Structure 1
Amino acid sequence: MTERTPPSLLPTDLPPRPRRILVVEDSPLNQMLVTAILAQAGHRADTAGNGLEAVMAAQNGGYDLVLMDLSMPEMDGLTATRLLRDLPGPAGRVPVIAMTADTDATDRARCRDAGMNDHVAKPVDRAVLLETVEKWLRAAASPEASAGFGPCTGAAPAAAGEVLDCEVLAQLAQDLDADLLADVLRQFVEETRERVARIAAETDRAVLTREAHTLKSTAGTFGARALCGAARALEMACRASLAGSGGPETEGDGAADAVERLRSEIPRLAGDAIAAYRAAGYPV
């Protein structure tokens, strides 16, 4: 007599495998809450405290979905998502769901343009979170499915190029051997950190002009596209303020505002560029 497998042990009745989810959130309390909700639903959750940690973790692959906070130190969620979308293979196509308290049309567009697939509002609602997670886990497993912002493959592939100019880096890789390229990039990063610190602290417009000019040149040489653009804008704003003023007390408000805005923005852009080099595999 042939033995039959009991119905309860048939493969089709086995529970689905736990999905591996990366929770990117700088608040330890929010990390605990979200990971607890996911664990109750049978998922495995790892955590990252900022966007840079997320990119470093996700580039190794193995995640089925990423839950991404937007406002974080070191690197925000939008920048991290742009870098994720530039990763090769499945790691670059993993669904990314924004977790944000800002859910109006403008914020949704920012998330979509960065390559995110959907969003859940904060404070997190358990049912909404799990429903959104399950929707995108199904979508990832079924390419013909569509929902939310669109399929993972719909992420703008050029978005990560806002941080680094891949053509410049590719040309450097042709011109220099790997060890030399790594050495000069490390030197560029070290010098950039020092120069950015001086820019953040300096108030003399003539000195700022020189520092911005040099940063524009070096950032352009090593493909730090966004940083190069900001340095160029800072140089122009400093020149405009010097040309149009008889002294700090009379310079135009527009030029002064632009200088201060760019001085505060450049450190973040430098950090984004350094993180992007690392995510691309350069040992800087």
Structure 2
Amino acid sequence: MTQRTPPSLLPTDLRPAPSRILVVEDSPLNQMLVTAILAQAGHRAETANNGLEAVMAAQAGGYDLILMDLSMPEMDGLTATRLLRDLPGPAGRVPVVAMTADTDEADRVRCQDAGMNDHVAKPVDRAQLLETVEKWLRASPPDSPARFGPCAPALPAAAGEVLDREVLAQLAQDLDAELLTDVLRQFVAETRDRVARIAQETDRNILTREAHTLKSTAGTFGARALCGAARALEMACRAALADRDGIEGERNGTADTVEDLRDGIPRLAGDAIAAYRAAGYPV
């Protein structure tokens, strides 16, 4: 029986080239976490801040896989994927995997209709991310049809639970201590800025996007109660926007719900920061 030589023992010039993956994500924190996970698995990860940057990068070719956030400024992930699928040659057939905190059936269908191949849930689960990445890197031919699997929704926050200890424990396994401290500090700084914008924002579309991003980053870093409140605020904003003239929303209390949820965000952010410190994280 012929034994294969492990790649790590092969001469440098005979080792397989690392896969080149484009991470399209507007949150620097999520960029840092995903690229760190991919690098640990031996992949070469590059980043784009929005869908427009992704399309421009993909035009040059050379990517084996694209991980695509959905809600981004400048150009969202669905629009970017439709444009990618119009590119000629291999660039238009690169597998695109959605990274999304929206996990219901309607969102799954939207991803598939846009030309995406699969999706992974946010907060990012290391095992699911790497399993999905490996599946599409092995897919042959590169234009294999989409094989969307179930995308489990995030668990609801337990009453009174500020931090999700399991998420923090997983982050401690995925990242070294110094990097984990750095990303938590950046999360705290980014959250303070975002909370200030949420408190002042009058445009409901922008407020929806800010709540969506806060939901994603808070979930990624285990701020469970804050994540749940941001999710509720995002849903309330979407409900208010669904009323074309806004009058019905005022009558049925949607506007009041938005304001009540908005008012609670700073307290929950403060609770999360205090809980990190109490747990020994120097944020």
Task: Report the TM-score when normalising by structure 2.
Answer: 0.48
TM-score, length-scaled by structure 1: 0.48
